A and B are shown apart, each in its own frame.
Chain A
Amino acid sequence: MSLLSWGLYPRIANKVFTFKTSNDLSSVLSDNDELIPYGNGRSYGDSALSANIVNVKPHDYFISFDAKKGLLHAEAGVLLSEILEAYVPKGWFLKVTPGTKLITIGGAIASDIHGKNHHVEGCFSECVKEFEIMLADGKTVVCSKDKTPELFKATCGGQGLTGVILSAKIYLKKINSQYIQQTTIKTKNLQETFDAFEKYQDLPYSVAWIDCLAKDEHIGKCLLMVGDFKDDGDLDYKNKTGLSIPFTFPSFALNNFTVKAFNWLYYGKAKDGISKQKVGIDTFFYPLDAIGHWNRIYGKNGFTQYQFILPKETSFQGLKEILTAISKSGKGSFLAVLKLYGKANENYLSFPIEGYSLALDFKIEKGLFKLLDELDKIIVKYSGRIYLTKDVRVSKETFEQGYPHIDTFRQYRKDNKMDVKFQSLQSKRVGI
């Protein structure tokens, strides 16, 4: 059975390797090239797809937890959801979490994921004390920012192209509630949206849902949700499993009309102006995890998420152009998520830079890639970049212009013989 990525596109045949001991893994590495590590299959595009896949997910043991420092040592296949299940009741939460808790620790490092608090806490690598990784030569090293800075900067955000992460030590943060005090701000246009982001910058968590089908003076209208953990001592958190989409929807189920209806319902249900709510961890951080296999609603042809970021100086103009182009194309995006990010880190391929990022879901259909190529041009014009963890189609040229450390990364891979050993469809396409 071949493995797929979250976008269900592309579908390629692959050979999946599992391993019990590090000796097993070391022989897999010596016998094969074109390998890529694979966690829980939640990256959207082709960053974890290759002819040969190393399945790390089964390696899901917790090793130790130091309750004084909040330091968890666990194998790379442990899901973030398992960490929450074990430690939220004891008053700990992830320092950095993406919009799904169904990713592995190894994947979180390889994507150097970020969350709603990027402007305060930065990327996942900020909470990584060290990790154990098997390199191309089959040797295992313990890597930390201080001891092996190059390997650290190449691996965090390096899309699994430097080796197989086996375990990691990560810091958790103290919380005193399973609830978040959320403020929702309903804006009328892009300027109001930007103003609201700036105004609420001091709150640790913020994210906005944008209505992509809004036109003219309404372009950029959104629901901005900001918040912080409450302090009520209620930590009685239960990991809920909810609905699941049981089968792949026919591709026509999701069209301009249904997206409009969804956006209307979503935007419409919020009160005008500013409102306050008390919401749980799962509602606030992981709204889509409540619906298992939600990727199936886009039909069997799959979907992609187009996520880019523009520097703060060019964000307003750039977003306006891009939202106008999308609105004109009439291609609906179910989810359009906007966020203001903090400063970039030093990792070679980490996505965040200081500015605004927008993420849009599109089902794969005729004409889509042409539209995205057009959007790419706007992004290059405004010195932006594309997020590899979501990407399935960006060209080498567009990609290169966004990432100034790309040659350092390439050289590092070559020097350490990682370039032949570890490859994905994506790494071949964008030439890393």
Chain B
Amino acid sequence: MSYVLIVGAKSDIAKATAREYAKNGYDIYLAARKSSELDEFANDLRVRTEQEIKVLELDVLDYKSHQKFYDDLAEKPLGVITAVGYLGEQKSAAIDFRESQKIIDTNYTGVVSLLNIITNDFEERRSGFIVGISSVAGDRGRKSNYIYGSAKAALSTYLSGLRNRLNDTKVHVMTVKPGFVATAMTEGMDLPEKLTAQPEEVASDIFKAQQSNTNILYTKWIWKWVMLIIKHIPEFMFKKMNI
């Protein structure tokens, strides 16, 4: 038995990733809030792959519950993938701190609370992998989504720190930075086709990169170069740009 724990399992990227891992012979824990909504998807995975699939209730914002959630897993996972993401509304976040806080806590605080616990276990066992799905939005702050972007920036920095801390163990940490992905989160946005990945492409990139112990994965790959350019635009110019 070999479980991979997928946190935030209702997102399109999480589902595609679950399919990719199940297809490659892993059993899957699907964890999310209102997890009964995942029952049909779990059934889909079982019919496709005949792997063990378990649906678990987990609220990333209910920090106090995290230790018990992890302790209750009869079989500890050999890897964890966090696909928690809440884009929120930048405009309302700018005037309503509650929306800002929800964005920050969902994308960052909740993931930290959970990964702290899991990391300690993996470190002690000296095995496992941690994949955190961050975002290219965390590479530079833009007026259109800087609350979300800054939460993802914090997550990327956290993952980088974990990677450094765990370097002497066999635990590998990978940061995933997707660019545009055609998901429910981006539905209705007019995304440029060439820069937009399907969730299945992201999932397949994640699987391959994780298996070869990649540290930072941009997906689609072209985003590595797009972000390299964006990161190097001098601030005096960048601040004037309408992006």
A interface residue numbers (CB < 8 A to B) = 1, 18, 60-65, 82, 85-86
Contacts and interface: CB of A to CB of B under 8 A. Distances in A.
A64 B23 CA distance: 17
Contact of B49 (A18, A61, A64, A86): A86
B23 A63 contact: no
Interface string B19-57: 000010000000000000000110110011100000000
A11 to B, nearest CB: 14
Contacts of B191: 1
Given A1-B190, A18-B187, A65 B47 contact: yes
A61 B43 contact: yes
19 contacts: A1-B190, A1-B191, A1-B193, A18-B187, A60-B44, A61-B40, A61-B43, A61-B44, A62-B43, A62-B47, A62-B48, A63-B43, A63-B44, A63-B47, A64-B47, A65-B47, A85-B23, A86-B48, A86-B49
Given A61-B41, A61-B44, A86-B49, 13 more contacts: A1-B191, A18-B187, A61-B40, A61-B43, A62-B47, A62-B48, A63-B43, A63-B44, A65-B47, A82-B48, A85-B23, A86-B47, A86-B48
Most chain B CB within 10 A, of A61, A65, A86, is at A61
Given A85-B23, A86-B49, A62 B187 contact: no
* Main DSSP-derived SS at the B contact region: helix
Contacts of B187: 18
Nearest to A74: B47
A69 to B, nearest CB: 14
Contacts of B23: 85
A392 to B, nearest CB: 22
Nearest to A239: B23
A61 B48 CA distance: 9
Interface string B186-200: 010011010000000
Contacts of A60: 44
Interface in B150-199: 187, 190-191, 193
A168 to B, nearest CB: 14
Contacts of B44: 60-63
Nearest to A241: B204
A62 B187 CA distance: 24
Nearest to B201: A241
Interface in B46-93: 47-49
A1 B189 CA distance: 9
Nearest to A86: B48
Contacts of A65: 47
Contacts of B190: 1
Contacts of B43: 61-64
Nearest to A85: B23
A81 B41 CA distance: 19
A42 B47 CA distance: 26
B31 to A, nearest CB: 19
Nearest to B19: A82
A65 B40 CA distance: 14
Contacts of B49: 86
A86 B19 CA distance: 11
Contacts of A85: 23
A335 to B, nearest CB: 26
A432 B44 CA distance: 37
A181 to B, nearest CB: 29
A26 to B, nearest CB: 19
The 9 closest A-B pairs by CB, nearest first: A62-B47, A61-B44, A86-B48, A62-B44, A62-B48, A65-B47, A61-B40, A64-B47, A1-B190
Most chain B CB within 10 A, of A18, A62, A64, A86, is at A62
A94 B187 CA distance: 33
A1 B182 CA distance: 12
Nearest to B49: A86
A62 B22 CA distance: 14
Most chain A CB within 10 A, of B23, B47, B49, B193, is at B47
Contacts of A82: 48
Contacts of A61: 40-41, 43-44
